[in-house]
Each structure stands twice: as structure tokens, then as C-alpha cells.
Structure 1
Amino acid sequence: MLTIDGAEGEGGGQILRSALTLSMLTGTPFRIENIRAGRSKPGLLRQHLAAVRAAAQICGGDVKGAELGATALDFVPGTITPGDYHFAIGSAGAACLVFQTIFLPLARQATPSRVVIEGGTHNISAPSFEYLDRVFLPAVRPTGFEARLTLCRHGFHPAGGGKLEAVIGPVRPAAKIMLEDRGALLSRQGEAVFANLAVDIARREAVKLTRLLSLSEDEVKIREVESSGPGNILWIEIRHERAVDIFSAHGAFGVTSEEVAVKVARQVEKYMASEAAVGPHIADQLLMPLALARGGRFTTLRPTPHTRSNIAVIEQFLPVEITIGDTRQGDRLIVVVV
């Protein structure tokens, strides 16, 4: 049984989720200690507990210590079984992170699965539904992992109430990923999405982002959605010939619309000032599909703590070598050798 230190690197929930995914795919049991030790409130929250229970359900796994607030648990995987599954987090916990935990194991099966997840679909510090659908899935499809997503209801913190559906798999032939340049800029398209709030909040975000990035009015839309509670997210998709990324920020109490737009603009400007093909967040999410398929290489910005933590977990489960080097342009080149 592998022993994993949950305090390593960024010390967050990503270490647990990656371990669950790799455990199911390799049949390797593990014990994780110091779960989320790097967070202000360590231990399992509802979304982490939901990911553990979802993983155990799809593979018939045995879990010990899976309780709210737990800082250690044991996980012994069984056989992954494709089928119909429904997971309810019971809070505004990130449904998108639960999806990512079970996606690769189910996508590697010969028959498809249908999964419904209820919780938060637009959370701070988690990929949004749009990010999964427009950035993550297109990036991993060449590695043979497939899913189709449907957003049924928006769910914002703290009310939650969101719902997404996914048809996952079956597995497809894999290609080696070679993403060393992103090609020419094709489009920039953003949205200020809001629910149960004054439309002026989204309108001010859109106006400010348009000015900061020298966009046209048509390039940032305003959209009101239904949700169980108030919520707001501003995001923009940057599409190049060989790469797509989304940068976003959430509205929050005490944060002005203009401040939200500045947060988004700064992310975009940092990415556009580089020549990297892959943004900082999709970089850590690409590592596991590449390590499980045929490997590959991609350029990115300075790796986040999530990226380095993910590399450490992957190398514990799989006989792969993942290196980070510099490019002539000052970006980073990550190579996954299987």
C-alpha cells in the first residue's frame, strides 16, 4: 500500500483526487495522511468526501476513514464498472472536481457511462463548467479520453443547487500530445454571467473588461441564468489555432465589478505576453492523461504548486518520467515520457 503525504507541495485536495484516480486505474491501494494540511481548514470537506465516495462506488472500492474533517484515509480499489451514476455533494462543493476524479477511470472503459453530479458548477478555486467543456475536454481528447457534458443548472457558492450531466467514454485510440506553440490568435469571446443579482453588476464587468483588453462590445456578452442563489462569474475564452484557454474570476461580497474584470484581464495579459501553448491551470490537468496514454510535451507558464504536486503523485503510481525545462522564450517545457 502506498503512503501519500497530503501536505506535500500545495497541500490541497488535488493530491487526494489524483491519488483516487490513479489508484482506480492501476489497482494500487493507498493511504493518505495530512489531507489538505496546507489549507486553513484541513481535512475532508463535502466535495472531497463526495469524490472519495464516487470513486469507491464506480470501482467497488473499500474505504476507511472517509468522514467530514478526516485528515487520513485508506483506499483499496476494486474493478471499475461503467454504468449510470448519480452523485449529490449536498452543498455548493465543486461538482466539476468530482467529475475530474472519476472521468479518466470511466473514460478508459469499453462501454460508456452516464453520470449526474449535483453541487456547485461555478466555484472559486475550481474549474468552471465552461472550462471543463471548452478547455479541459478538447485538450485531453487526443489522448483517447472522451466525454460530453451538459449543464442542467448553474450552481454558485454558497447556495449550490447546480447540476451537470456527463456521458463518459468509451475509450478511443490515443495520440502523443505535442503542444509547443499555440499558433495564431483566432478569437476572444467572454461572458459576464449572473444570477439573482442586479444586471448592472455584470454590465460593469463587461464594460471594464472590454476597455482593459481593447475588445469590441460583441466580444463580451451579458447573460442572466437561473440558480438557487446569487452568483456571478466573468470569463473569457482565448482561442488560438492549436490551443484554447479560459480565464475567469468570480464576483464576491465586497469586491467591485471593476476589480473582477481586472483579475481576468491580468490573467489574460500574462498568458498573451508569453508564447506558451498551455495556460497555468490546464498544465497540471494534462499531466495525468498524458502519463496514462502515450506521453508528450507542451510549453506552459511557470508551473503552479498544483502542477508540481500532481507530478509527485503521478510518479508514485506510474513508471513515467516528467521533467520541467526552460524554453528559449522564457516559458517552461514539460515532457512526459512513458
Structure 2
Amino acid sequence: MDFCMILIDGRMGEGGGQILRTALSLSAATGKAFRLIHIRKKRNKPGLRHQHLACVNAAAEICGGRCHGNALQSVELEFVPGPIRSGNFWFAIPTAGSAMQVMQTVLPVLSRAAGQSVVTVRGGTHNPGAPPFEFFTESFLPLLRQLGINAEMQIRKHGFYPVGGGEIAATIHPQTAGAPAFSFHQRGEPDAAGAEILLSWLPHVIAERESKALRQKLGWPDGKIKLREITDSPGPGNVIMIRVKYGAQTYLFTAFGQRGKPAEQVAAEVSEAFIKFRLRNAALDEHLANQVLLYLALNNGGAFTTESLSSHTKTNLEVIKRFLETKINARKKNDGCFEISINPSTGLTE
């Protein structure tokens, strides 16, 4: 393609699929074309996999984008966006790839469309390395409402790795104008906390061991830990989710069971993530912080505190700088947390 493009090196930072997803969202939202080289260079299997290809094709569909390199195992991609269009969209991943990551790609774009959109995605709904369905509905989407971004999401069928076969649907409304700059420096007072164990086509002893390990690690009584049996998934799966509410904001911490991974290890992982956040005074956990960056940069900016500056967050910030003249500042506070501020009204700075 003979076109002035933003060049992005997929080896930067964490070197994974998030670089691609963020670039696709920003390209479609801003109308700026890009060329991505060395796609997922730092992964065991570099290049586009099924779920990444689904993100590319979904982004192209919602903005009439033109692509070169949108093929399995491709390590380079050129993407030229067109105008954003609302409508009814259906996307499918032929593997257990994350349907949530496809939704993550199109949500910031379709919220800028003139009309309402309905998006259905078939694939994995609960995947290691990706935000699960409940993260969106209970934690992230409520946070986005502060930015005037409104969407509802439903799960029609659960899909766990490695079988997949789940399905989600979202109704995405045009963004409400006039939302103030985002400011979230202190979380509210602690409220109810509890854990939920999702179990699909697996022996109950797994949940029993996980529940026992959670009680030992967190000192919780039986009543704080619930079991939810999933019967609509085509394959087995196991997830532990810890929910905690501070003020009006719900936070969700997850760990995924996998073949060969002891139940006690799954419980330890999710417990440690929760304890780490509880001991800090940050307003956002690292996953919420990473997800909200793009929305702040595309809108009126803002500032917040977070528990850590993860490699994913650093990489996301670098990709944002490629597309937007945005002043970004990240500083470590005396309490060990980080404050990140984004000001879209100024020139590009480090």
C-alpha cells in the first residue's frame, strides 16, 4: 500500500498481541493508517494467530478498513482505516481464542460511531491472559460510564480454554458528550469481598481444594466462597474470581485452572493478586489501569493512581504516543503506587 503510515515495531515492550489490538483501535478511531512489523515477536509462536486475525478483521469491518498481511502467522500488517460505521456485527474465532479481546478492540471505536451497534463474538469467554467476561460487566464497563461511554454485555454461552465455543453480545451506544476529565486518585471505603469458583465439566474435588486453600490464605469463612457450576460450555473449565468493592467501584481478580496446575496454586495466584492490591492505596488495579488508558487518550484525558506500572501498561502508553499528540506522565509516589496523567491537549512529550 502506498500510504503515509505510522510505523510500529512489535518488539517493543512486552512484545505481544496488545500492541496489535491497541494499534487497531487507535487507527480506526483516529483515521490514521499504520504498519506493524515483528508482530508478537516475543511470543513462543510469533505472528497472527486466529484470535489476533479476528481482531484485525473485526476492526476492518467496523470502519471499512483495508488490510495487507491479514493472514495466519503473518508477522507484518498494514492497516488503512475508513470511516467508522455503526451496525450489527458478528465475529467468530475458530479456536478457543479470546472473544473478550475482540470486544476490547472494537468497543472504543464503536462508542465513537453516530449510531448504536450490536456486536456478537463467538470464542473463549474465560481465557488465561485475557480479561474474563465478568471483568467487563462488573468492573470495567461501570468505570467507562464516567467517561460517557455506555455499553451492555451479555454472555450467551461460556467458553473455556482450550475448547472455546462461548458467545458474548454487546450493545454499544454512541458516547455521551460533555464528560469531564477522568480523576480517580483514591478508592472508596472497603465493602463486601468474596470469591466465586466457576467449574465446568470437572470433578467437584477441584473446587473443594480451591475453597480450602482460599480459606487458609485469606482467613475467610465458608460463606464468602461460592461455587457456580457452568453447564452451557462445550468444554471443561475452572476459574476463581475474587470480587471486592471499594466505594462504588468493583474490582475483580482472577486465576485460571489448567491441566497439570494444582488447585492450590490457582487459589494462591488469585489470593496474592487480591492481597497485593488490598495492601496498596491505589485507585485502580493494574488491569483496569491498562484498559482505561486508551479511552482517556481519545477523550478528555485525566489522571489516576495504580498499584504498579506493568509492562503491558508501559507498552500501551508507547503505542498511544505513536497515534496521538498526548502528554503522558507516569511517576512513582512515596507510597509505592504510580500516578498516571494523560493530557490530550498538548504536544507529544516523553
CA drift of 1:186 comes to: 0.8
Q: How is 1:152-301 mapped onto 2 (pairs within 5 angstroms)?
A: 152-173=156-177, 174-226=179-231, 227-301=233-307
Count of aligned pairs between the two proteins: 338
SS at structure 1 position matched to 2:109: helix
Stretch deviating more after TM superposition (306-315 or 234-243): 234-243
CA distance in 2, matches of 1:167, 1:275: 34
Contact 1:191/1:206 (8 A) holds in 2 = no
Residue of structure 2 in register with 1:60 after alignment: 64
Matched AA of 1:264: V
Contact 1:299/1:332 (8 A) holds in 2 = yes
CA distance in 1, matches of 2:244, 2:12: 32
SS at structure 1 position matched to 2:91: strand
Q: TM-score w.r.t. structure 1 length?
A: 0.98
| Unaligned stretches of 5+ residues in structure 2 | 345-350
Residue of structure 1 in register with 2:93 after alignment: 89
CA deviations on 1:245-290 (whole Å, 9 max, x unpaired) are: 1111111111111111011111111111111111011111110111
CA deviations on 1:147-193 (whole Å, 9 max, x unpaired) are: 10001111011110000010011211322211111121011122100
Matched AA of 1:60: G
| Unaligned stretches of 5+ residues in structure 1 | none
SS at structure 2 position matched to 1:92: coil
**Moved runs in structure 1, 4+ residues, more than 6 A?**
none
Contact 1:274/1:301 (8 A) holds in 2 = yes
Q: TM-score w.r.t. structure 2 length?
A: 0.95
CA distance in 2, matches of 1:210, 1:81: 49
CA drift of 1:244 comes to: 2.4
CA deviations on 1:67-121 (whole Å, 9 max, x unpaired) are: 1100001000011110000001111000000001000110112321011000000
Matched AA of 2:342: V
| RMSD (CA atoms) | 1.0
Residue number among 293, 305, 308 corresponding to 2:311 in the alignment: 305
Stretch deviating more after TM superposition (287-296 or 212-221): 212-221
Matched AA of 2:43: R
Contact 1:122/1:156 (8 A) holds in 2 = yes
Q: Does 1:127 align with 2:131?
A: yes
